[in-house]
Amino acid sequence: MLMPLSPPPVVDILRFNTCGSVDDGKSTLIGRLLYDSKSLMEDQLEALERSADLTGGGQINLANLTDGLRAEREQGITIDVAYRYFATARRRFIIADAPGHVQYTRNMVTGASTANLSIVLVDARAGVGEQSRRHTAIASLLRIPHLVVAVNKMDLVGWSEDRFREIRAQFEEFLPRLGMRDVQFIPLSALGGDNVVAPSPHTPWYAGPTLLSHLEDVHIGSDWNLHDFRLPVQWVNRPHHPGDARLHDFRGFSGQIAGGVVRRGQTVLALPGGIRTTVQEIHTYDGAVEEAFCPQSVTLVLAHDLDVSRGSMLVSPDRLPGGGTSLHAKICWMHPRALQPGRKFLLKHTTNTVQAVVTGIEHRLDIASLEPQPAPAGLTLNDLGEIRLRTARPVFYDGYGTNRLTGSFILIDPGTHETVAAGLLHPPTEAVRPEDTDYAI
Amino acid sequence: MSGYQLDHLQHLETEAIHLMRECAGEFERPALLFSGGKDSICLLRLAEKAFRPSELPLPLLNVDTGHHFPELNEFRDRRAAQLGARLIVRRVEDAIAQGLAVPAPGEISRNRLQIPTLLAAIEEFRFDCCIGGARRDEEKARAKERFFSFRDRFGQWDPKNQRPEIWNLYNGRLHGGENMRVFPLSNWTELDIWEYIGRERLEVPSIYFSHRRACVRRGGQWLPVSELAPPRPSEEVRELSVRVRTIGDIISTGMLESPATSVGDIIAEVAAARVTERGSRADDRASEAAMEDRKKAGYF
């Protein structure tokens, strides 16, 4: 009998997003990935064939697979982020298909914020446009570790290696400024399936991987911060159980660990308040555990009865976050009404929502040059820029580069309740000093 | 390499628990939609994982179309009782009697009539958040939906105007009368659901497993014979070994010929399937935009 040499490898998840201009063929590319990797089901194909007979003159339109809304099929564009799922023997994949049209850039940010990898599509005929730059800049801003530049519609430029190199050179001109390190260029035709799943006979000059084999192989080391323990408290777990003595006194703090590792018996600091205590129990539904790590969801029972509630954060006293009411951040502005200094918002950071006022706009990023520019008119829809904020209560945070979960926030309009901005915090200039925070016991 | 690594089910689980707790933290009066189907069974286990040892801080809500499989309702009631959860059932039948839901002439399906029944229940209990078990891989209109899906005062979904959802920061702010639908299983696939049921050893209604049942061939699928859906004179009744893959109403749910008698068998069957789960739901096959239209009107 054959014995397995090692336990089966953990099947991991690669999340990626696709972006490009209108008509670059994103939806077609995803349709092709699903079709050629045999991830499409017969009834989906039949539905495609039916709609092909009705509207496509008999030609199957792979874009109809992802363009699920009526308005999208009518206008032939993607309006919102569509999520697709497929699996190979190696990996599970979650695709966020983000719209290309400039007015939907906020949806691209939505799709990209959780991605490990970003695919930027370029029409080989058109070359690098403002949208390609914007999308690459957003991928860089969000610190997506891997980038694929898919040069699509190569069939329409006669599979010209020169054209491919030209586009590559256009990208390489601005990539260094964005600090993108892992970039893979792939010449392909989504419509014909060349270099998507199977290597193309038309590109003998290209020695690199197909898109799918790159997606399967790319190394996605842990995106999670495993160094600085952070637990934003989501919910206080108090059973109030009159009949059960043990449950009567149970008081746990539930949340998803946003950084680091926590062990039973460890000292933690509760913010705000700054009181030290020890972790008495790490409770889970499946029993108490000795340690837990990011991004697990747990409930901590502490040795002391502290004033801790939703919005508080439990942290490692040796690796303190920054804290304060003055924040400095990059943002993507997502609302048609321009952002002007002085406007007030609700700022949601981890599980903590506080009032905030924008005290200044430092600059906006010029997409053409990727250089900062003055922003006398404020930030307009889809602008990337840098701002300063003051909050009504202290926020405890890390730089976005150190921890995506404790370094990010959204701004909510207090009147309309719309989400109007995504923010990425600069590293704190100094760690929180617990002795300065209010004691409340 | 550190050993601090989660597999794909553990990833999906912690994401869903986080969403559950955000609901408890952000809303005044959340409810959990529980039908007894496989997705809501997972949802309920995730609620236990999120909130135990406390009581579940939200009641269970089910809209009973009156066309449910009896096995499903029996399971629903028993499971809710086991967990000591409060179960609220609102019937389409009653909504019709009260004039809240009005069937079109000759309309037999209760599918559309669930919508006003659900909206009336939301109003009756002033629920500001309903947690549902919908998954994005089910249907292409679902594929566009956020975890936190905002509904206006009329319960409508506006796909062109969804709130951006960035990182794991969910905006749960509402004005009076507005409502949020929250879908913690958004990123789960049908296969993930069954693998989770297997891992957690969750009980599911017996109709998910192979059993003998009288069926007729109609519209390209095997429909179960019942009092509500008797065979037509021209139809031949066949006794087959079948199971359900997805549960809708008894008059519209296609049965799958299958020998699967265990969760392991089902996992193998789903992994090899060449047809989607909703391929057996007549309600979704009505038109290219059937689901989109129902969601805009206030469907789950």
Same domain? For A306 and A376 the reply is: no
Indicate the range of A105-114, A347-356, A374-383, B187-196 predicted with least confidence: A105-114
**Helices vs. strands in chain A: H and E counts, helices first:** 8, 22
Cα B124 from chain centroid?
Answer: 21
Contact A80, A97 (CB under 8 A): no
Q: Rounded distance, CA A437 to CA A440, Å?
A: 9
Final residue in a domain of this structure, among A156, A186, A217: A217
Domain co-membership, A67 together with A153: yes
Tell whether B237 and B143 lie within a shared domain: no
Work out how many domains chain B is built from and give that number: 2
- Comparing CB atoms, the residue among A44, A113, A239 nearest residue B166 is A113
Would B261 be classed as within a structural domain? Answer: yes
CA atoms within 13 A of residue B80's CA, in its CB half-sphere: 23
> In terms of domains, do A47 and A102 share one?
yes
Q: Do A43 and B275 touch (CB under 8 A)?
A: yes
- Is position A234 within any domain? yes
Residues A326 and A308 in one domain: no
Whether residue B16 sits in one domain with residue B147: yes
* In a domain? residue A2: no
B200 domain residue, yes or no: no
CATH number at residue A276: 2.40.30.10
What value does the mean pLDDT of chain B take?
A: 91
**A51 Cα distance to chain centroid:** 33
ipTM entry: 0.91
Is A7 domain-assigned? no
Domain count within chain A: 3
- B39 part of contact set with chain A, CB < 8 Å: no
Same domain membership, residue B292 and residue B242:
no
Contact A82 B144 (CB under 8 A): yes
Using one digit for the tens of pLDDT, what is the confidence trace for A76-108? 555 677 788 888 888 899 998 876 666 667 778
Q: Are A300 and A262 in contact (CB under 8 A)?
A: yes
In a domain, B176, yes or no: yes
Q: pLDDT for A307-324, tens place per residue? A: 999 999 999 999 999 999
Residue of A nearest to B46 (CA): A285
Q: What is the pLDDT of residues A411-435, one digit of tens each?
A: 999 999 999 999 999 999 878 876 6
Where does a domain end: A183, A217, A251? A217
- Whether B82 and B175 map to the same domain: the answer is yes
The mean of the pLDDT values for chain A is 87
- A77 vs B: CB within 8 A: no
Does residue A175 lie in a domain region?
Answer: yes
**What is the widest separation between alpha-carbon atoms in chain A?**
78
Same domain, B77 and B211: no
Q: Is A85 within 8 Å of B51 when comparing Cβ atoms?
A: no
Q: What is the pLDDT of residues B71-107, one digit of tens each?
A: 999 999 999 999 999 999 999 999 999 999 898 888 8
Q: Residue A177: inside a domain, yes or no?
A: yes
B contact residues 139-178, partner A, Cβ 8 Å cutoff:
139-141, 143-144, 159-160, 162-169, 171, 173-175
| pLDDT tens digits for range A254-306 | 999 999 999 999 999 999 989 999 999 999 999 999 999 999 999 999 999 89
Average pLDDT over residues A29-58: 70
- Residues of the domain holding B178: 8-193+288-296
Which of A315, A348, A371 finishes a domain? Answer: A315
B154 in a structural domain: yes
Closest CA of chain A from B96, distance in Å: 30
Confidence band (pLDDT; 50, 70, 90) for B277?
Answer: confident
CA distance B206 to chain A (A): 26
A408 touches chain B (CB under 8 A): yes
Q: Are residues B184 and B274 in the same domain?
A: no
Residue B8, phi then psi, degrees to nearest 5: -65, -35
End-to-end CA distance of chain B: 42
Q: Say whether both A335 and A244 belong to one domain.
A: no
Q: Is B231 exposed, middle or buried (0-12, 13-18, 19+ CB in 10 A)?
A: middle
Tell me: do B142 and B253 sit in the same domain: no
C-alpha to C-alpha distance for B12 and A15, rounded to whole angstroms: 12
CB B242 within 8 A of CB B213: yes
* Cβ–Cβ gap B49/A51 under 8 Å: no
Top-confidence range, A50-59, B31-40, B214-223: B31-40
Q: H or E element: which one contains B43?
A: helix B38-51
**Edge-to-edge order in the sheet of strand B238-243:** B221-224, B211-218, B238-243, B256-257
Same domain, B158 and B266: no
Same structural domain, B95 and B172? yes
User: Which chain A residues are within 8 Å of B53, Cβ to Cβ?
Assistant: 237, 239, 241, 247, 250, 283
Q: In this predicted model, what pLDDT tens digit does every residue of A240-257 receive, in sequence order? A: 776 777 777 899 999 999
By Cβ distance, the residue of A13, A42, A65 closest to B274 is A42
Considering the domain architecture, whether residues A201 and A234 belong to the same structural domain is answered as: no
State whether A41 and A169 are in the same domain. yes
Residue A252: which domain range? 230-315
Residue B214 lies inside a defined structural domain of this protein: yes
Of A11, A239, A405, the CB nearest to B7: A11
Q: A3 in contact with B at a CB cutoff of 8 Å?
A: no
Contact yes or no for A412 and B173 at CB 8 A: yes
Nearest one of B163, B155, B86 to A411, comparing CA atoms: B163
Q: Does A410 touch chain B (CB under 8 A)?
A: yes
> Is residue B104 assigned to a domain?
yes
Note whether residue A145 is domain-resident.
yes
* DSSP annotation string for A234-245: -EEE----SS-H
Residue A223 lies in a domain: no
Nearest CA in chain B to A40: B274
| Residue B286 in contact with partner chain A when CB distance is under 8 A | no
Number of other residues whose CB lies within 10 A of the CB of residue B225 = 18
Backbone angles phi, psi at A353, to 5 degrees: -115, 125
In this structure, the strands spanning A297-302 and B60-64 are unpaired
Helices B8-26, B190-200: crossing angle, 10 deg rounding: 90
- Look at phi and psi of residue B296 and say left if phi exceeds 0, alpha if psi is from -120 to 50, else beta: alpha
